[in-house]
Structures are given as structure tokens and as C-alpha cells.
DNA sequence: CTGAAAGCGCTTACAG
DNA sequence: CTGAAAGCGCTTACAG
């Protein structure tokens, strides 16, 4: 038989569709007898309410769009897992938008999400020129990204993380620490902290930025060039994969780690902690970031006009390995 | 103003809703003049059709459920990215179901997906006792997992992969190669290949299985125990994270790699290739697995009753690093 | 070439 | 305590 509908249940239970709907939604008064009969009919038919029809009526679809650069990156994979988990607990489903690191797709996705009436969007990409977020009259939450004045930002304490990493490298004897990061713009608090710390120690900053959309191979080549040309005796990479590239370079070129070159990464995703527990890294509270973003978007969906409170950055932690 | 609806566009263009719908769907005859007027109205109003309403009418929602153990694992993250990408090209959206490695959630998700009228489901978990897949009259595609006779399986060539890895270790001089895998059941072609190859060389098999749901820390402890107790001079791990745990153990215990112990992993996700290019591993064609799964589910949605053709396993490739 | 009307599967005032 | 009817925003035969 085709999927049973409300009417089928009603017929079988000998009541009206209204009554069935009431039982389903547990609203209004119902005699126990009717309730029991309806529930029996539901069970017998294996009836399941059609979420689509429900969405069409209520204002909400129960869907939250999650836009990420790509879940192939363990940091974002773990973040999305946490978001999905927290949203599922609250009855929301995740429509995944994986931009494949491509800024154009982000704008398309935003459109698509609105067409599909998502109740809200969590975005965590770093494209700086995506239009459409202002126009979108959607509840929005950003993860570690500035969208606009009305969009709350969930993030780790980047300033503290940058400081921890840099101070640690200096404490371990580094005198020529190199910062490798995605972009070196003013909003990059990890870079700023690095600069502040080295300046306080009278050390000249060495900063290299590869840009978000640099393909992995190119990035690796760049990093290897930089490591060689700067004569760095330490590397602070603002993500773990980059740190691991530096580690690999050291291995290939016969440098001893940490004696010749100390290495600190950033993020501390479960995958990296599992696979490379030896990597010293600044561990972000990824699960908490995801959970908090989920909470916030649910709040904003409930009350879209509430002025966004400033989110205190979540604490990060230096995790020591043998690479430093 | 509230989100404009079809009626608003019709009023503005001075036509009926039927006509607007025709323009939108490009069906039936339309004078160029009307078409232009309608398009202008759409643009002026910033109208976007409501996907929910469309879904309610057509039989399809344009949604595909993707069930994974967790996207926090780089292999599944990359797989999901590939699936999402391929589905997006075909006009489908992904409803992400991250089971957090928890079998119970899989059954709940299956329910939820049906309630939300997804057009099909791609599943890639390895829970063996999940009920509901038979009852679900949904188009279904499995990735590297046996669900039932009518469900096509997309997978890499596990037998070839197991053979490549094991033969390679023996060729490098291993005489006591240890296989570390999730479960050692008859359907595990990687394990079977390992056994066949060592048997052909007159070597006694050493196999250890940790079970899918073993938490990371426990898994690490197990692996370290096994490595020590078996006196292995080589490890074939059927996933890269496990291989990296072995590598870490070697580092901690002062073993030289590959001289004292050779290590080969499995999967070769981009994250691992990026972060640990030195790891010898069997590289799965993750992007192709995802793309193929997407193709298949779209086909099955179009023709749910077509008998599933046997999918030839996709080729894998041994990637040499310095760990072997 | 264009429109009025029915209907997708539900929920929700409004009656009774 | 229960039901008939309208309506969510679209599409699609069916007329004209």
C-alpha cells in the first residue's frame, strides 16, 4: 500500500482527521477511548506524519542549513558533527552545504537554503565577499567569522591561543619563530597575538599567509619554501594540517624535531589527536563551539529580533606533544 | 514585507498564478510578452518559489539522507563532501545524519528521514543489527556495507587493497606482520586478503580486531598491547588513524620505522595525505565512491524497481611513504 | 496561449 | 469532547 495518510488513520479509527491530528499533537481534550483507538490505528497502519505537509503549515521546517568550507577537513567535520548532534537533540535537522572551498557556491547555497525554508543558518566559511547575508532575513549564527553587526559569532579564544602558542615556542628556546596562517588581516587574532608576543620579546615577526583557497599541494610547496628561506627555528601554524606539513618537511630535510625546529599547530581535532598525538597544538573546544552555535541558532529562531548578545570566546588549551 | 508568494507575483504581473507557475517551470506555451512581464515581477519582488510547497505536490522533496558513523572521521568527512557535491550537481540536497558511532541513532534517523520524505538514503555505517532497512520502502544505496539483496553496494576493491598492503609488507622484509582491523568477520575482504597472502608465504596470520564502537583511547591502548605482545615487525591497519596510532607507538617506544617495524594504513583521505604524506597506505578512491553512490541513488530514485546491478569494486592504489 | 479549480497532507480556528 | 471547513504555497489536469 501507498504511504498511509491522516485520512486513512481517521477512517480506520472511525473518527475525523481533526481528531487524529489532535492525538498526534496532543492538543485539546480527547477521551481516552478515542485516543486509544487512534493510536491503535496509527500503529496498525504504520502511519508517520508527513513532515513536509507539517512544514507547509507551521512557519517552520525544522531544518537548519550548515555552511562549511568542507567537511573533508577534520576540524569542520568535527564541528559539523557537534552541530548536528546538538541540533538533533533539539528536534532540528541539518541541511549540509559543503562549499568545497568555493566562494561562489556559498551564495548559491544561501539562496537554496531560503528556497527550502530552512529555519536558520549556521555558517563557518571564511569567504569575505559573499553577498546575500544582509539581504537574507534569516536567523543566522557565524562560527569564528564576522558577518555583520546583528550576527552572533561563536569562537574560541584566538588571542589567548595565539599567545599560548607563541609564548610556548619562545619558552622552548625559539628565537626565529615563523607564523604560518591563512590570511594576515586585522581580524586574525591569532596572528595579532603572535606579533604582540614576539614584539614583547624583542623578536622580529616572521609571518607568511597562503590564502584560504590555495590548493593543498601549492600550500605545501609554499610552506616548504618559507621554512627554508626564513631559517625558522620554530613554526606556529594556525591549523594542524599546516603544522603537519611543516613536520613532514622537517622529516624530509633531516631536521630534528624539536631540537632544530619546534612545531605548534592549532585546532586539535579528534582526528589529529588520534593520529598525531605527538603534535603540540592549541586545542579548540570544537564540540562546545558546535553545541553553542546550535543553541544560539535555536534561540534566534525562537526570537529572531532579540539583539545578539556578545558571545564570550570559548577557552582554548595548549596541548603538549613531542614536536615542541 | 513578508516573503512574496506566487499570488503576489501573479497580481503584480497581472496574470494568473497558473501562468506564473508555467513561467517558473517552463512548461506549456507562453507568449514572450507574458513571460517577460512575469520574470520582471519575480525579479522586482525577489520572489523565490517555496521548496516545501513544491515538495508537497510532486512526489519528491529533493532531499537525500546521508547516514554516516561520523563526519568527524576524515574518511567519512571526505566521503560526505563528495556525495554532497555530486548530489548538488543533480539538484539534490543532503540531510546529514551523523550517528556519533551510536547504532541506536541509526534506526531513529531512518525513521526521521522517512517522515521528512527524503527521496532516498545513502548509508555508510557498519552497524550490523539495524532493523528498519527492509521495512523502509525507500531507494537505498550502501557504501561498503551489505544491507540486503536489493541494495546496491558501492565500494573500493578491498580484496585488492588487502593483498597490495600485505604483499608490500612481505616484500619489504616483514616476517611477522600484524593485521589490525575493526572486526574480523567473513565479509571483511581486507582481512581475508591478508590471510590468503600470508598463508601463501607460509607465514602464520596475526589478527587483532577492536570492534567499531571502541572509544579512541581504549583502541590506542589495545593496539599498543597487541603490538608489544605479538612482536610484530610490521602492521597492516585497515584504517589510517589506527596506522598512525601504531606509528606513534613506535615513536614512543623508540622503534625505528620502517627498519624495526613497517606500517601500512588504509583509506588515504586527503587530510591524512596532507598531514602525513609519509604514511604508506592503500588509497581508496573516496571522491569516486561518493560520486558513484550519488549517481546510484539518483538512478534508483528515478526508477526504484530496477533490479540493482552488481557494482564492480572501484580500484584502490598503494601509496608509498617512508613508513614501510 | 491563458485561467479557474482541485488537490498535495496536514493544522487550526470556529462551531456544535 | 469531536467534526466540517478553510488554508499553508504551490502544480496540474481540464476548459476555453
Contacts of B277 in chain A (CB under 8 A): 248
For residue B307, what pLDDT is reported? 84
For residue B131, what pLDDT is reported? 67
Residue B261: all three cell numbers together: 617495524
CB A113 within 8 A of CB B99: no
For residue A187, what pLDDT is reported? 87
Q: Which chain D nucleotides are covered by protein, judged by CB under 7 A?
A: 1-5, 7-13
**Between the CA of A180 and the C1' of C9, what is the distance in angstroms?**
55
Cβ-defined contact of A276 to B98 (cutoff 8 Å): no
For an interface test with A, give the residue of B45, B67, B74, B105 to mutate (most A CBs within 10 A): B74
Contacts of A274 in chain B (CB under 8 A): 216, 220, 241, 244-245
Task: Please compute the mean of the pLDDT values over residues A83-92 and round it to a whole number.
Answer: 95
pLDDT surpasses 80 at A114: yes
Task: Please compute the mean of the pLDDT values over residues B54-60 and round it to a whole number.
Answer: 81
- How sure is the predictor about A227, in pLDDT bands with cuts at 50, 70 and 90? very high
Min CA distance, B286 vs chain A (Å)? 10
**Out of B56, B271, B322, closest to residue A74 by CB:** B271
Q: Which residue has the higher pLDDT, A1 or B202?
A: B202
Min CA distance, B236 vs chain A (Å)? 15
Q: Which chain C nucleotides are covered by protein, judged by CB under 7 A?
A: 1-5, 7-13
- How sure is the predictor about B195, in pLDDT bands with cuts at 50, 70 and 90? very high
Task: Please compute the mean of the pLDDT values over residues B33-60 and round it to a whole number.
Answer: 85
**Out of A115, A271, A277, closest to residue B51 by CB:** A115
Span B21-30, pLDDT tens digits:
888 888 877 8
Across all strands, nucleotide nearest A7 (CA–C1'): C9
Task: Please compute the mean of the pLDDT values over residues B176-187 and round it to a whole number.
Answer: 92
Q: Which residues contact B92 (CB under 8 A, 6 or more apart)?
A: B62, B63, B64, B119, B294, B298
For an interface test with A, give the residue of B95, B98, B258, B290 to mutate (most A CBs within 10 A): B98
pLDDT surpasses 70 at B128: no
Q: At what angle do helices A216-230 and A240-252 cross, to 10 degrees?
A: 60
Element (H, E) at B115: helix B103-115
- Residue A15 carries which DSSP code? S
In order, the DSSP letters of A98-165 are E-TT-HHHHHHHHHHHHHTT-SEEEE----S--TTTTT--S-EEEES----TTS-EE-B-HHHHHHHH
| Segment among A107-111, A153-157, A237-241 with least mean pLDDT | A107-111
For residue B147, what pLDDT is reported? 84
CB pairs under 8 A between A and B: 162
Contact status of B220 with chain A (Cβ, < 8 Å): yes
Task: Please compute the mean of the pLDDT values over residues B234-245 and round it to a whole number.
Answer: 95
For residue A2, what pLDDT is reported? 73
Q: Is B178 helix (H, G, I), strand (E, B) or coil?
A: strand
Numbers of helices and strands, H then E, in chain B:
12, 11
| Segment among A33-42, A188-197, A250-259, B62-71 with least mean pLDDT | A33-42
pLDDT over 70 percentage in chain B: 97
Length of chain B, in residues: 324
Min CA distance, A201 vs chain B (Å)? 31
**Out of A48, A52, A95, closest to residue B94 by CB:** A95
Contact status of B321 with chain A (Cβ, < 8 Å): no
Helices (H), chain A: 6-13, 17-25, 32-45, 51-57, 74-89, 103-115, 158-171, 189-200, 216-230, 240-252, 270-275, 286-302
C-alpha span between B55 and B181 (Å, rounded)? 43
Span B68-109, pLDDT tens digits:
999 999 999 999 999 999 999 999 999 999 998 777 888 889
Cβ-defined contact of B80 to A98 (cutoff 8 Å): yes
Contact status of A262 with chain B (Cβ, < 8 Å): no
For residue B116, what pLDDT is reported? 86
For residue A128, what pLDDT is reported? 65
Span A238-296, pLDDT tens digits:
999 999 999 989 988 999 999 999 999 999 999 998 888 889 999 999 999 999 999 99
Task: Please compute the mean of the pLDDT values over residues B196-207 and round it to a whole number.
Answer: 96
C-alpha span between A154 and A142 (Å, rounded)? 6
For an interface test with B, give the residue of A45, A271, A279 to mutate (most B CBs within 10 A): A271
Cβ-defined contact of B115 to A73 (cutoff 8 Å): no
Q: What is the mean pLDDT of chain B?
A: 91
Q: Which residues contact B124 (CB under 8 A, 6 or more apart)?
A: B66, B67, B68, B69, B76, B79, B142, B143, B144, B145, B293
pTM for the full predicted model:
0.92
For residue B199, what pLDDT is reported? 97
**Out of A76, A105, A240, closest to residue B275 by CB:** A240
Provide the β-strand partners of residue B180: B208, B237
Residue that is written with C-alpha cell 568550507 in the block? A69
For residue A130, what pLDDT is reported? 65
Task: Please compute the mean of the pLDDT values over residues B283-293 and round it to a whole number.
Answer: 98
Amino acid at each position: 500500500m501507498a504511504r498511509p495518510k491522516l485520512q486513512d488513520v481517521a477512517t480506520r479509527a472511525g473518527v475525523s482527521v481533526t481528531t487524529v491530528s489532535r492525538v498526534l499533537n496532543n492538543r485539546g481534550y480527547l477521551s481516552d477511548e478515542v485516543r486509544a483507538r487512534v493510536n491503535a490505528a496509527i500503529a496498525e497502519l504504520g502511519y508517520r506524519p508527513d513532515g513536509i505537509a507539517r512544514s507547509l503549515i507551521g512557519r517552520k521546517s525544522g531544518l537548519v542549513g550548515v555552511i562549511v568550507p568542507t567537511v573533508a577537513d577534520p576540524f569542520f567535520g568535527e564541528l559539523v558533527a557537534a552541530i548536528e548532534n546538538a541540533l538533533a537533540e533539539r528536534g532540528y535537522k541539518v541541511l549540509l552545504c559543503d562549499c568545497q572551498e568555493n566562494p561562489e557556491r556559498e551564495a548559491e547555497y544561501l539562496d537554496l537554503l531560503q528556497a527550502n525554508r530552512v529555519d536558520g543558518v549556521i555558517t563557518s566559511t571564511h569567504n569575505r565577499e559573499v553577498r546575500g547575508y544582509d539581504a537574507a532575513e534569516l536567523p543566522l549564527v557565524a562560527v569564528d567569522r564576522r558577518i555583520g553587526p546583528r550576527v552572533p559569532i561563536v569562537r574560541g579564544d584566538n588571542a589567548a591561543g595565539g599567545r599560548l602558542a607563541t609564548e610556548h615556542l619562545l619558552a622552548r628556546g625559539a628565537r626565529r619563530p615563523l607564523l604560518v596562517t591563512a590570511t594576515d588581516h586585522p581580524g586574525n587574532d591569532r596572528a595579532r597575538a603572535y606579533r604582540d608576543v614576539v614584539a614583547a620579546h624583542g623578536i622580529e615577526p616572521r609571518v607568511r599567509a597562503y590564502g584560504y583557497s590555495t590548493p593543498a599541494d601549492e600550500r605545501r610547496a609554499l610552506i616548504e619554501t618559507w621554512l627554508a628561506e626564513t631559517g625558522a627555528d620554530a613554526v606556529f601554524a594556525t591549523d594542524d594540517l599546516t603544522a603537519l606539513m611543516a613536520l613532514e618537511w622537517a622529516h624530509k630535510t633531516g631536521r630534528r624535531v624539536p631540537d632544530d625546529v619546534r612545531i605548534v599547530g592549532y585546532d586539535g581535532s579528534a582526528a589529529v589527536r588520534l593520529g598525531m598525538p605527538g603534535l603540540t597544538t592549541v586545542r579548540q573546544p570544537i564540540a562546545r563551539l558546535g553545541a553553542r552555535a546550535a543553541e544560539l541558532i535555536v534561540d534566534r529562531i525562537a526570537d529572531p529580533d532579540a539583539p545578539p548578545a556578545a558571545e564570550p570566546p570559548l577557552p582554548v588549551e595548549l596541548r603538549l606533544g613531542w614536536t615542541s
